[in-house]
Amino acid sequence: MAVRNRGLMLIVCSTLLAVGGLSAAAPYHDEQKQLERMAQAYGLPLHGYGRFGALGLPGGKLIPYTATGKREPNPWAVSDIRGIFRDCYPLTNVRYGLKHRNTDPGRYRNYPLLMAVYGASAAEVRRSLVRVDFCGTMVLFSSRNGAAAALSRVSAEISQDPALLAWVRQLVRRDSQAIGTWNWRTIAGTTNLSAHSFGIAIDILDRSSAKYAYWRHTSGNEQAASFWPRFITHEKIWEPPSGIVACFERHGFIWGGKWYHFDPMHFEYRPEFFPPGSRS
């Protein structure tokens, strides 16, 4: 993170302190900062200010900063903007979930927003998909909101590093299904659409590894799996080289390896977590 932007990141991430019990509530100004990050990241208009503000969607619908009386029907689906920023996405190279149980930075998604930006049905999303050359493998990604262009930049950067490029190519040589992008489907065990449905996520997985690549797989019982640190250590969780993670983050992608409910094969285009210049 560039030093000059550290203040901005602290503001954007202020709700982390609230979650951690260090602060009762985000200062008024910080709520406006989060709204501004959303407006900038998705090219949408703002209405109002701070906690009484809202993000405007095409067609006139508003997403409030704070939904009142909300009861979220599904895990990781939020009806307001505040929920998206509930957990701060860390730019440091940490295994976040090990330190913070149930901290899943970036896993909280506002579906009306994603549907308005990337498409509300499989057919609509499909019309905006373009082919992207990802390190020699052609994949489908959304051309909207700069997603495909960002993935191309990730690929270009990985391709400049012989060791990282060799790592990706070796995976694909061994397993033609090692890389996956667009797939209109729900998240396993939930009724939420996966980010893959919108053409903004890419999985890179070494299926020959015996390590865990998804939190639910740590136990046959989902309830037990949600307590995975009690019976497995971090060394048993699969992860890509840290240089791969850094390349994605530099271009606006979050990594599922930083979630308590870990999904380390998963990279997702979420530009709201990366203010311009926040990672160089």
Nearest CB to Zn ion, comparing residues 36 and 206: 206
- Binding region for Zn ion (CB under 5 A): 201, 203, 266
Minimum distance, C-beta of residue 148 to Zn ion, in the bound complex (Å)? 17
The DSSP-derived string for the chain is --GGGHHHHHHHTHHHHHHTTS-SS--HHHHHHHHHHHHHHHT--EES-GGG-EEEPTTS-EEESS-TT---SSTTB-SSSGGGGSSPPP-SS--HHHHSTT--TT--B-HHHHHHHH-SSHHHHHHTEEEEEETTEEEEEE-GGGHHHHHHHHHHHHHTSHHHHHHHHHHHHH-TTSEE-----BPTTSSSBPGGGGT-EEEE--TT--SB-SGGGG-SSHHHHTTGGGT--GGGB----HHHHHHHHHTTEEEGGGSSS--TTEEEE-GGGS-TTS--
- The gap between the terminal CA atoms of the chain, to the nearest Å, is 6
Nearest CB to Zn ion, comparing residues 261 and 266: 266
Nearest CB to Zn ion, comparing residues 30 and 203: 203
Minimum distance, C-beta of residue 251 to Zn ion, in the bound complex (Å)? 17
Minimum distance, C-beta of residue 196 to Zn ion, in the bound complex (Å)? 6
Beta bridge partners of 56: 62
Nearest CB to Zn ion, comparing residues 80 and 203: 203
* Structure tokens given for 2: 């560039």
Minimum distance, C-beta of residue 125 to Zn ion, in the bound complex (Å)? 15
Minimum distance, C-beta of residue 202 to Zn ion, in the bound complex (Å)? 7
Nearest CB to Zn ion, comparing residues 64 and 256: 256
Task: Give dist(CA 255, CA 248) in Å, integer.
Answer: 8
Minimum distance, C-beta of residue 94 to Zn ion, in the bound complex (Å)? 20
Minimum distance, C-beta of residue 102 to Zn ion, in the bound complex (Å)? 20
Q: How far is CA 93 from the centre of its chain?
A: 15
Nearest CB to Zn ion, comparing residues 44 and 201: 201
Nearest CB to Zn ion, comparing residues 203 and 239: 203
